[in-house]
Amino acid sequence: MDAYVPLLQTLAWVLLIACVVVAFRKPLKELADVIVKRVKAGAGVEAGVSPTGPYFKLNELREKLPRYEPEAATEAAVAPAGVVAPAGAEPLAGDDLPEPVSPSAREVWERYRDQLKERSHRIHLVHVISPSTRPGQRFDLFIYLKAAMKGDLADVKQAQFFLGRHWGNKVFASSNQDGLIGFSTSAWGSTLCVCRIVFKDGSHAVLSRYLDFEMAPVFDTGTLAAP
């Protein structure tokens, strides 16, 4: 009986590997296709952050997103509220949300959350940071739109971004760049980004995101304080 133990162990491993291949055949095929595609294109293979798929590299964000450099503010700069806020926009009803102890709290909060998703066509504002090699800057920032389930970036006509006085109080407009809608820049500290999304059906949505450096410890950059 002992003579058959190695054979049984080998068969068990073969069956286990076969089961894994069958169970994960689709993701494995997708990974193989991506590797073959990148090798044919003469590029390296590495994992990275992903606005559109699991193999989208950070370097591709650098290559495809238009870049805007920070600059000093000027006295004649246009006030941000006058540039970004759409005329006649109705304020959100966030002040009307009931306290958690209210009997109707769950339903009202859920309805408000759904309302926010529908107003933005299920398009959301996201960002990624990467240590910067530019003098005086801590991180490169990649700010772009991401479609959630049932959302579609094809519905977006244009996105308009505003970062404030350290970027000259300018509004940066961006359209679709090979599946990406956004831009990149560099910063020495966190900042607030306001984005107006203009949709092809004529509607619009205003989103905001604090471009934080809370992931700085991942890059082993030491203190979170700005230099």
| Strand arrangement, sheet containing 191-199 | 171-174, 156-162, 191-199, 204-211
Residue 189: how many other CB atoms lie within 10 Å: 15
191 Cβ partners below 8 Å, 6+ apart? 163, 164, 166, 210, 211
Can you give the residue ranges of every domain in the chain? 2-45, 61-85+98-219
Interatomic CA distance for residues 83 and 73, integer angstroms = 15
Task: Report yes or no on whether pTM surpasses 0.75.
Answer: no
Look up residue 34 and give its two tokens. 């991506």
CATH number of 61-85+98-219: 2.60.40
Interatomic CA distance for residues 167 and 137, integer angstroms = 13
Please say whether the beta carbons of 172 and 164 come within 8 A.
no
10-residue averages of pLDDT along the chain (227 residues): 60 69 66 52 38 55 84 40 36 68 88 91 95 92 94 95 95 90 95 96 96 88 45
Question: Would you state the torsion angle of the CA atoms of residues 41, 42, 44, 48, taken in this order, to the nearest 10 degrees?
Answer: -30
Which pLDDT score, from 0 to 100, does residue 35 have?
A: 53
Which pLDDT score, from 0 to 100, does residue 74 have?
A: 38
Tokens 């109705």, residue located: 90
